[in-house]
Copies of this chain bind each other. A is one copy, B any other.
Amino acid sequence: MDVAFSLDPALPKRRGVEQAIRSAAAQGLLPEGSRMPAARELAADLGVSRGTVVAAIDDLVADGLLVTRPRAGTFVARTPTTVGRAAPEAAPTAPRLDLRPGRPESGSFPAARWAAAVRRAASTALMTNPVDDDGAGSLELRTELAAYLARSRGVETTPASLVVSAGYRSASTVLAVAMRSLGMAEVAIEDPALPGIDHLWRSAGLRVLDLPVDARGARTDRIGRDTDAVVLTPAHQFPLGGALDAERRRDVVAWARRTRRFIVEDDYDGEFRFDRRPVAALQRSAPDQVVYAGSVSKTLDTRLRLGWMALPHDLVAPVRASLLTLTGGVPLLDQLALADLIRSGDYERHVRRQRREYARRHDVLLRALSRVGVPVPGIPAGLQAVVPIATALRPPADADGQIRSGDFVTHSLDRYTRQHAQAPAAVVGFATPPRGTFGTAIDALTRWLQQDPR
């Protein structure tokens, strides 16, 4: 028996010992019939005299909790009712037809391939990899990423300018603290955007300027005089789904260069353009002013929490330092597994396969909506589409931006807006349902759109 007892210092000692044993038993640490440690041992553990322990045990025997058998020892006679323990928590179950945005196809994760890569990494790399983390992450992964990001997104970077992150939010937390430490005070963020991303930047001590978004993308003309950095989703605005138009791209790059300010390019789904090759990352136009951020959240699984930033030279050291201080680094086995997948070509094959599937689904969605007379704005890309809805279909404010109808659930655009109102719409994630239920999910969506809104 290896049970840790602890005295409540607020109680007299004898009462404290009694309480410690009671509490251990109530927690199931002393099952019925189990033998108690010797009084001498208990006394040493608890830092009290043997006499105190013997007295407390006598109390518990009198109480019927313990029983003493001559020449055998003291045993637990019964387990007291557990007190103060919360009712068991039920695991939340996912709705059957899940059209909430943000996640790749359920069941598409290359599980066997990933597990094999983790096995290889665990068996050799933990030994050979340096224990000294400088906040940049695995050099092996950064080397693969530099080449991959150049191939797939035109990013101009080097392993030395890359930092591995635990996904986009963690990357942003680290970046925000690093920027604040450099004296930056204001960040402009698209409105609508990823929920809570404004809170994240405020938590690091920065002011947030809400940047409205129209059909041409973020209103880059509204960037403030004192704005130090602007967070954009230029390839595919999240969640509205448009691309930042060429003139605004030029303007914002020119602004960053002229004023030596920074652009944070959130390239969350840049791998998924369906009608043409994707426009290259904005980062390529100004590698010294653009932080390029990406992750595996849309390509593999959001729950891996693994991403990267390609950094302007001046930000490399501050970001590495912040990452080490705030997080201690990114899980190494996952980094090495991803490096393995990229090196083998399996990562890009998986992305291509999923791109074909999402392109097909996007097409099915648009045709279904067109049949019920609902136009979908935005470019053919990504994993989500904005679907205009009747005002009466807008969910009440207390629904937390969830739209539910029968078995199906999606998000209201309200969940993503902050200061600047948008016309009522649903943000439909068409990637998530497994192949077998995708059609049913789209049917449920179109039925809901047609319902009498009265």
Contact = CB atoms under 8 A, between A and B. Distances in A.
Interface string A58-90: 000000000000000000000000000110110
Given A9-B253, A170-B326, 19 more contacts: A2-B151, A3-B277, A4-B281, A6-B154, A6-B280, A9-B285, A28-B147, A86-B158, A86-B159, A115-B115, A118-B333, A203-B322, A203-B326, A297-B328, A303-B329, A303-B331, A303-B333, A304-B333, A305-B331
A432 B132 CA distance: 13
A277 B4 contact: yes
B303 A133 contact: yes
B109 A131 contact: no
A204 interface: yes
B122 A115 contact: yes
23 contacts: A3-B154, A4-B277, A4-B278, A4-B279, A4-B281, A6-B280, A23-B284, A85-B158, A91-B129, A91-B140, A93-B130, A111-B123, A126-B303, A166-B305, A166-B328, A169-B325, A169-B326, A170-B328, A205-B205, A301-B332, A303-B332, A303-B333, A305-B328
A453 interface: no
A160 interface: yes
A305 B329 contact: yes
A327 interface: yes
A181 B202 CA distance: 11
Contact of A180 (B154, B203, B324): B203
A353 interface: no
A250 B9 contact: yes
Closest 10 pairs between A and B when the two form their complex, measured CB to CB: A6-B280, A4-B154, A9-B250, A115-B119, A111-B122, A303-B332, A4-B280, A169-B328, A6-B284, A196-B325
A450 interface: no
A94 B130 contact: yes
Interface centre among A2, A156, A333 (most CB of B within 10 A): A333
A392 interface: no
B111 A126 contact: yes
B4 A153 contact: yes
A346 interface: no
Given A9-B249, A94-B130, A154-B4, A203 B204 contact: yes
